[in-house]
Structures are given as C-alpha cells and as structure tokens.
A and B are shown apart, each in its own frame.
Chain A
Amino acid sequence: MKPQRRLLSLFFVFTLFCAPAPAQEPPAKWPGVDETVVERFASELGREARDPYINTDQGDLLLFLFALAGAAGGFVMGYCWHKIFVAGRKPDDKEH
C-alpha cells in the first residue's frame, strides 16, 4: 500500500473513533402516529417493530426520496390533470 493511501486510511479510522458520541436527544417534536400509537401499543403488547428490509431512513437519503416521490407524484397528477381538466375541457361544458 502506498504511504499516502496508508496515511489516508489511518486518518479515516482516526476520524471514525473521534466522532462525537451521540448526545441524549430530547424527544422529537411532531412524532407520527406510528410512534405514538402503532409502535407504542405493539411494544406494550410484546412486539417490536424491526428495521425495513431496504432501509432508506439514513440521513438525508429519506428526505431525497420523499422529495423525489413528491415531485414524481406531483408531475403525474399535474400532467393527467391538465390532460383532462384543461386540454380535455370542451367549450360547451356547463355547470351541472
């Protein structure tokens, strides 16, 4: 291994160990009903939720995917809406 690469690897390992320990976070505001009801009752009744098989809830990845899903859903909705309610509107359509 080249010295630069070794140095870089050591630096990487060092930063991993130097990462600040996660502080005790206050309870999150605006929890979903999944937390306040579904998972709470499941836990009380002896069943814990597990992580999803494809876990995208990692940092901003989930935010990215939600934004992407919202944009894609919004585009489909807008496109079809325009097709029916704007382009497809006939001049003789009157209020029922």
Chain B
Amino acid sequence: MKRNLLLSALLLLLPAPALAMHISEGILPAGWALFWFAAALPFVALGIRQIQARKQLDPSYIPLLGIFGAAVFVFSCFPIPVPVAGSTAHPAGTGLSAMVLGPFASCVIAFISLLLQALFLAHGGLTTLGGNTFSMGVLGSFGGFFAFRLGRLLRLPLFWCGFLAGVAADLLTYFGTSLEMALALHGDLPVLSVLGQIFLAFMPTQIPLCLLEGAVTGGILVYVRKVRPDILKRLGLLKEAVA
C-alpha cells in the first residue's frame, strides 16, 4: 500500500506539459522571484491582521470571507473562452473581494488561492507565487478598491462603482503580470517597450473579459444591496443613499 502511494507520488513528479494561466513556473529568474515575494508578503501579513480585527467587530465577516474567498479561488482558475480572441483567460475576482473584505484581506485570499492552484492544479507556480500574488492580490485588490472609491466619490450608481472595480482589478492584474515579465526579461530592450508589447498582447482577450468581470462585480453588489443592505452599510460601502 505504502509502495503504491509512494509510486503514485513519484508519478506526479514526472514531467508533462503544464498549462497555467498566471506566470508559469520557472519564468521569473530567482532574484526577481524573491523580490516579488518580498514585495507581496507585507500586504499578506497586514491582511491577516485586518481579518483578525474585522472578525471581532462583525460576526458576518467570516461567512463573507468564505463566500468571496471561494469566489476568488474559483474565478481565478476558471478559463473563460473569449470568441473574439480565440483564446481563454480568467477573471481576477479581487476587485469584488477588496471592496467587501478590504484590500489587505483580499491579498490574503489571493495568496491562498494562488498557493492552492500552484500546489494542486498545475496553475501558476511556487517560484512565481510572489509575483502572481503581487499582480492579482496587491495590484488587483488595491486597483479595484480605489476604483470603487473613485466611483463613489463621483457619485456613480452602485452598479457602476462595482463595474469600475471589476474592470480595474482585471486590467491591473494583467498589467502587473506584464510589468513583472518586462522587468525580469527585457534584456537589452527598453522595459517600457517590452511592457507595452506584453500588455497589448493581453488586451484582445482581457478587454471583453474585464467588461464581463465588471458587470458581474456590479451585479453582485446590487444584489447584496437588495438582499442585505445592512452588510454594505456595516462594511462602509453604503453611507448615503445611492441610485
């Protein structure tokens, strides 16, 4: 029995082509991989503190963490075919989680989701976990969070605030991926040129997808307002009457 288990474990380590949608294993050189770990981990650590603090104040915070944590995990490993581009990509989901749970808590969720995907789903990588956490967790969460705040500041209807958050989180995640690759791999080429090329190459797939993510994010916010407006008020997302 033990021998069979050991054999099965060894079989898993045999090389085979892997299809991952974040930065794949081995693409970032060791120095850059470490740099992005160092850049992402403070946000994750602060996120753990934010979760500890918020769960003391609000009893519904943990079930919300369950909903939106699971949503980020599922969204970020969910390849959606984009017919105009002929390829597939996944949404980030961190705009939604950042609005509801806070941007730091959203970084923790992204980190855990990406870790599970790297360990069990051949999706992303362990050496690129820091880079992927920084792009999807940090840039996606903070981009989505500030886009939502900007929408509220401009007194846009709640749906459009959520829409902006979803679009920003998605685009900034892929901007982060492009930036990380450009910084690490540009060689003799100018960084901005490589960054622009990679980011533009994402666009045929990501523009339709970010619009979809924006609509889903806005729709979920409107639904929550309809069913449990008290939660949005408690989380500080609704302070005054909105359209």
Interface residues of A (CB under 8 A from B): 29-42, 45-58, 61-62, 65-66, 69-70, 73-74, 76-77, 79-81, 83-85, 88-90, 93-96
Pairwise interchain contact A32-B19, C-beta atoms closer than 8 A = yes
| Interchain CB contact (< 8 A) of B11 among A45, A48, A58, A80 | A58
B15 touches A55 (CB 8 A): yes
Q: Which residues of B contact A (CB under 8 A)?
A: 11-27, 29, 60, 63-64, 66-67, 69-71, 73-74, 77, 79, 81, 86-89, 116, 118-122, 125-126, 177, 181, 184-187, 189, 194, 197-198, 201-202, 205-206, 224-233, 238, 241-242
Give A48 to B184 CA distance when docked, in angstroms. 13
| Nearest CB in chain B: distance from A53 CB, A | 6
Who on chain B is nearest to A83 by CB? B63
Q: CA separation between A81 and B224, bound complex, in Å?
A: 10
**Are B87's CB and A69's CB within 8 A?**
no
Most chain-A CB neighbours within 10 Å: which of B25, B29, B81?
A: B25
Chain A residues within 8 Å of B225, by CB: 95-96
Residues of B close to A84: CB separation below 8 A: 60, 63-64, 67, 228, 231
Q: Which residues of B contact A39 (CB under 8 A)?
A: 24, 27
Shortest beta-carbon distance from A85 to chain B in Å: 5
A38, A48, A51, A77: the one contacting B66 at CB < 8 Å is A77
Q: In the assembled complex, how far is the CB of residue B72 from the closest CB belonging to chain A, in whole angstroms?
A: 9
In the A-B complex, the 9 residue pairs with the smallest Cβ-Cβ separation, listed nearest first, are A50-B26, A80-B66, A49-B24, A45-B185, A57-B122, A96-B229, A76-B70, A80-B63, A77-B70
Taking CB atoms, residues of chain A closer than 8 Å to B14 are: 55, 58
B81 touches A52 (CB 8 A): no
Contacts A76-B70, A80-B66, A80-B67 known; A56 to B122 CB distance under 8 Å? yes
Known contacts: A57-B16, A95-B226. The answer to whether A69 contacts B63 by CB under 8 A is no
What are the residues of chain B within 8 A of A95 when measuring CB–CB? Answer: 225-226, 229
Known A45-B194, A77-B70; further 11 A-B contacts with Cβ < 8 A: A30-B81, A33-B206, A37-B201, A47-B29, A49-B25, A52-B122, A54-B12, A73-B71, A89-B228, A93-B230, A94-B229
